[in-house]
Amino acid sequence: MATVVLFHHALGLTPGITAFADDLRQAGHDVHTPDLFEGRTFPGIEQGMDYLQQTGFGTVIERGTRAVDDLPAGLVYAGFSFGVLCAQKLAQTRAGARGALLYYSCAPLSEFGDAWPAGVPVQVHGMDADPVFVGEGDIGFAREVVASAGQGELFLYPGDQHYFADRTLPSYDPDAAALLLSRTLTLLKSVT
């Protein structure tokens, strides 16, 4: 059993995020889902990004950092889109990380340090024509992270959706989401 901290995307801690966490729990893993938006959810990315800009990205990322203060080392950090910033920061900077799962997004290695920590496996998942993941350059950061990690994998799925694994949204792609979940469970099994 792995202990996972799963950070939500810019829509907040939505039913789609909690359903994904439940899938991991059903596979036998302990999953924590911090609410970085303090109960707020948004119907679209624009509204969520407005909230992030008004609140401050640093403030919200710090909420993610504080969310693990009472948890032991040895965690797997996972994040969807905006939540990747919290997951990647903690995987790179908090001692004892067991792995990282970065969905739809990736930050440059230099954002949180000089290199990926030795012995920490990472998976990055995104669609090959996603205007955010590919169009805004995250795919290049993903390649950098994967190349720096001793155990890194970049998985590209055919399509142009950003939130493709959230079953409660119109962007949901059931085939890609099932493969993402299967690959996620493979990483989690490898670190237990």
Q: What is the pLDDT of residues 138-152, one digit of tens each?
A: 999 999 999 999 999
Average pLDDT of span 148-169: 96
Q: How many other β-carbons are positioned within 10 Å of the β-carbon of residue 96?
A: 10
Q: What is the DSSP string of the chain?
A: --EEEEE--TTBS-HHHHHHHHHHHHTT-EEE---TTTT-B-SSHHHHHHHHHHH-HHHHHHHHHHTTTTS-S-PEEEEETTHHHHHHHHHHHSTT--EEEEES----GGGT-SSPPTT--EEEEEETT-TTTTTTSHHHHHHHHHHHSTTEEEEEESS--SSTT-TTSTT--HHHHHHHHHHHHHHHHHT-
Give the model's pLDDT for residue 34. 98
**What confidence tens digit (pLDDT) does each residue in 63-72 have?**
999 999 999 9
Amino acid at 18: T
Q: CA-to-CA distance for 41 and 185, rounded, in angstroms?
A: 27
Distance in angstroms (rounded) separating the CA atoms of residues 101 and 24: 13
pLDDT in tens, 10-22: 999 999 999 999 9
Query: What's the pLDDT score for residue 120?
Result: 97
> What's the mean pLDDT in 50-77?
95
pLDDT for residue 106: 98
Contact 165, 130 (CB under 8 A): no
- Residue 5 sits at φ, ψ, to 5 deg, of -110, 115
Average pLDDT score, the chain: 96
Query: Is 114's pLDDT higher than 90?
Result: no
The pLDDT score that the predictor gives to residue 55 is 94
Judge whether residue 192 has pLDDT over 90: no
Residue 62: CB atoms within 10 Å: 14
Q: Could you tell me the CATH superfamily of domain 3-190?
A: Alpha/Beta hydrolase fold, catalytic domain (3.40.50.1820)
- Please check whether residue 2 is in contact with residue 28, taking contact to mean a CB–CB distance below 8 angstroms: no
Rounded Cα–Cα distance for residues 101 and 38 (Å): 23
Q: How confident is the model at residue 123 (pLDDT cuts 50, 70, 90)?
A: very high
pTM across the whole model? 0.96
User: ∠ CA(4), CA(182), CA(187), 5° rounding?
Assistant: 45
Give the pLDDT of residue 118. Answer: 94
pLDDT in tens, 77-113: 999 999 999 999 999 999 999 999 999 999 999 999 8
What is the sign of the dihedral through the CA atoms of 56, 58, 60 and 62?
negative
Average pLDDT over residues 179-183: 98
- Percentage of the chain beyond pLDDT 90 is 97
